[in-house]
Chain A
Amino acid sequence: MELLKRTTKASYKDLRDRDLVRYFRRKADEAAFNELMNRHQVKIYSYIYSMVNNPETANDIFQETFTKVVTKMDDTYNEQGKWIAWVMRIAHNATIDHIRKQKRYIDVNSWYDDEDSRSDYFDRMMDESWVDADEQLVEGETKSSLMAHIAKLPEEQRTVVLLRHYYEMPFKEIAELTNVSINTALGRMRYALINLRKHFEEERQHEFKHANKR
């Protein structure tokens, strides 16, 4: 019996995503779903976490993503396509929805503080993650400076960097996922790297000044 169990577990590991999805869809196969989760949950969760930079929000978005995955699977998932790319699209949309909601909330509150401001609120407002990351950096918490710098990037640049890092997604797929041309996606990556370079440089100068003071 133990041998049988071990064989079954091993065979699930050998199966492709699309076969596991088929088992889950047709038989609500728990083991198949577990295998899918084991393969991809780290990337999905890391991406969401890096985008929002808040564990509780990341948990909510992660759960929301999988609720949508299960409810939409029969209607919108084509078994010929990559399952992970499809899940990633859902995770990305859920994350962006959340970030935009947060921005809208901040904007409504800040509108009364600065009514004369003519700049677009997406430019003016730092999102929740930015604030969190910045505070955490100042307070000397364990968060890495890289995460803080990534969090400071504009949302569309951050998305490209994270999709590329966690999924090694080709730019063609990143462009499709974010509804832009390949050149725009490449351009966003370039600006993201230029901005990060600038942030790293500022950080280095800041550290240098502190060292001199001492």
Chain B
Amino acid sequence: MQTNDEDCIRYLMREMDPSEEIEFERKMMSNENLLIEVESLRSTYNKTKTLPIKQAPKYLLDRVKEQAVLEQKKKLKKSNKVIDWLGKSVAVAATILLLVSLGMYFSALEPSSTTPKNLTSQINNASTIQPWVDRNEIIKVSDRIDALKAQNIGEEYEKSYEKLIPVNSPSQLSKQRQGVLLTSSPVSE
């Protein structure tokens, strides 16, 4: 394993793994130049440990603290304002939304097609409509229609009976036509 220049610094700064450290020390024991180099660097490095500690002047510290707190308070005030503004905006938006939805809900509850006025006009229109019916096959109930119409219907019934032809010789009829014919339609011979 070769020793590179950075290993000396890693060893001096105690940035080696324990196993690497042991290996490096073994190398130093077998290589005098490496040992001298490391010890020389160590001696120089130890001198840097006496670098002075400097204290910032008190007036400077006070100024820095004061400014920092003031600045932070300003920032907090600003952010609180933004939060307040956002809160108010959300409240206004929610109110508007609520009002609009309530309006929509109530307007949906009022059925526009069932006003009394519309209802009577519908009824009037209904009386004029004449649906097609097959009068031969319909059963009508007399008490549910007006008397005049009932009379006409009665006459129609009478006429329809007249159209009935008695069957004298049933044998003449085919098997298929045996039975009672309730229709008023003329039987084709």
- The interface size bin for chain A is 35 or more
CB contacts (< 8 Å) of A45 on chain B: these are 54-56
Specify which chain B residues have a CB less than 8 angstroms from the CB of A7 in the assembled complex: none
Q: Which of B47, B49, B68 contacts A70 (CB 8 A)?
A: B68
Is the interface on chain B under 10, 10 to 19, 20 to 34, or 35 or more residues?
A: 35 or more
**Min C-beta distance of A148 to chain B, whole Å:** 12
Q: Which of B13, B43, B73 has the most CB of A within 10 A?
A: B13
Within the complex, what minimum Cβ distance (angstroms) separates B115 from chain A?
A: 62
Give the Cβ gap from B4 to chain A, nearest Cβ, in Å.
8
Looking at A11-19, A112-120, A182-190, the stretch in contact with chain B turns out to be: A182-190
- Known A170-B15, A183-B6: A34·B51 in contact at CB below 8 Å: no
The chain B residue with its CB closest to the CB of A199 is B44
Residues of chain B contacted by A161 (CB below 8 angstroms): 48
State whether B51 touches A146 (Cβ < 8 A).
Answer: yes
Interface of B is mostly: helix
- Contact across chains for B56 and A62 when beta carbons are under 8 A apart: yes
Q: Which chain B residues lie closer than 8 Å to A34 at the CB level?
A: 65
CB-based contact A63/B53 at 8 Å: no
In the assembly, what is the distance between CA of A57 and CA of B8, in Å?
35
Q: B79: nearest residue on chain A (CB-CB)? A: A74
Question: When each residue 40-73 of chain B gets 1 if its CB lies under 8 Å from chain A and 0 otherwise, what string results?
Answer: 1101110111111111110011011101110111
Q: For residue B52, which residues in chain A have a CB less than 8 angstroms away from its CB?
A: 46, 50, 144, 147
Measured CA separation A164–B45 after assembly (Å): 11
What residues of chain A have their CB less than 8 Å away from a CB belonging to chain B?
A: 24-28, 30, 33-34, 37, 41-42, 45-46, 49-50, 58-59, 62-63, 66-67, 69-71, 74, 144, 146-147, 150, 161-162, 164-166, 170-171, 183, 186-187, 189-190, 193-194, 196-197, 200
Closest 9 pairs (CB-CB, A-B): A186-B6, A28-B72, A45-B56, A46-B54, A49-B54, A28-B73, A197-B44, A66-B64, A186-B9
- Please list the residues of chain B having a beta carbon within 8 angstroms of any beta carbon in chain A: 5-6, 8-10, 13, 15, 40-41, 43-45, 47-57, 60-61, 63-65, 67-69, 71-73, 75-76
